Structure 1
Amino acid sequence: MTIINDQYYIEQTLRGDRNAFSVLVDRHKNLVFSLALKMVKQQERAEEVAQDAFIKAFKNLKSYKGDAKFSTWLYKITYRCCLDVLSASKERYRSEPIEESGAHSLQGTEQILTTIERKERAALLNRCLLSLPEEERAVIWMFYYEELSLKEIVATTELSEANVKVKLHRARKRLLAIVQSQVEPEVINHYGQKRKR
């Protein structure tokens, strides 16, 4: 069975077939909601942002030129909707300071995390990820979880490639510092000793 690409449904929507747009919503709703949730941190608000993003995408579909993937274009709209919601509520999340702990210490934490079972690690990283400032959280999410390329992240955020790289670097460093501060010392010791055996 051949999967019809997004462009077909975009063209059908522009011809007046509203059902065609519902196919696009169905295809991309999880990605849109995931990004919104990572940025606004509350399920109800994320649902509102996702709905708003799809409404804006529908209204502006004529402006989609096809020079980037539809999903990238939709991500950009979602990202902007998230920033609007966050700035409107004047809610800036406090970010954990990057401790001046040495690279060795951060690397040690990273190695210990690799020994923690996958589910534990995923839950821990998700909690820590929510402690990052929204833009850093979004960039990390897009790059590692959604596996967008740097070019796609640049298109989504409208930041320069250099700026995206800097945000990724800072976010990784900050995330490791947060992980290090939140993992209980016993857990680190437990898994650290396991590795030595």
Structure 2
Amino acid sequence: MTTNEDQYYINLIIEGHTNAFSTLVDRYKDLVFSLALRMVKNKEEAEEVAQDTFVKVFKSLRQFKGDSKFSTWIYKVTYNTCLDRLKKHKREQHIESIDEFNLNQIKNMDNALDDMEAEERKQAIQDCIKLLPSDDAFLLTLFYFEEESLEEIAKVVNLTENNVKVKLFRIRKKLATILKERLEPEIIQHYGS
């Protein structure tokens, strides 16, 4: 669905055709749930966050000005809803320590992952992303899986594009640390040399 199609349904909803909202929900429900799950790390809570997100989006649809894509706006509502949920439950996030990596080690990790079967690589990365702090998992998901631009991500999380770049670099280092700990040493040795 393009931005114009989103705007078409938004206009219908604002004009009183509330049943058109189901089209937007169908379009974004999987993405909202995935982002919520990355942050709250619990399926039931992610479902509640997704539901809360769509209620908030519906109630504040008139406030959407079209300054950014509708998807960016809904990601932002999802992000803020997740933050509210996490603050409410005062959850402690599992944070992995960051070892210093030199560029050669990061390159070896990249080479090892490149040589793994695509499905295994995807599953390994997904499992390791779950171990990242919520904000980090959210940013990685937007950038790598949803292929959002730095500009769009910056709008979602209220940061500058440069701050997003720096955060993504640091998150990649964290992810490399987690992957290094999780992958069997012989796999790294075999593929990294």
TM-score range relative to shorter protein: over 0.9
Instruction: State whether residues 111 and 191 of structure 2, in contact with CA within 8 Å, keep that contact through their aligned partners in structure 1.
Output: no
Normalised by the length of structure 1, the TM-score is: 0.92
How far 1:190 moved relative to its partner? 4.2
Distance in structure 2 (CA, Å) of the matches to 1:103 and 1:129: 21
Gaps of 5+ in 2: none
Secondary structure of 1:5's counterpart equals helix
1:1-197 paired onto structure 2 within 5 Å: 5-192=5-192
Instruction: State whether residues 106 and 177 of structure 1, in contact with CA within 8 Å, keep that contact through their aligned partners in structure 2.
Output: no
Distance in structure 2 (CA, Å) of the matches to 1:140 and 1:4: 27
Distance in structure 1 (CA, Å) of the matches to 2:166 and 2:87: 22
How far 1:3 moved relative to its partner? 10
Gaps of 5+ in 1: none
* Identical amino acids, percent of aligned pairs: 49
Secondary structure of 1:174's counterpart equals helix
Distance in structure 1 (CA, Å) of the matches to 2:13 and 2:90: 36
Instruction: State whether residues 92 and 133 of structure 1, in contact with CA within 8 Å, keep that contact through their aligned partners in structure 2.
Output: no
How far 1:191 moved relative to its partner? 3.7
User: Where do 4+ consecutive residues of structure 1 move more than 4 Å?
Assistant: none
Normalised by the length of structure 2, the TM-score is: 0.94
How far 1:131 moved relative to its partner? 1.2
Count of aligned residue pairs for this structure pair:
192
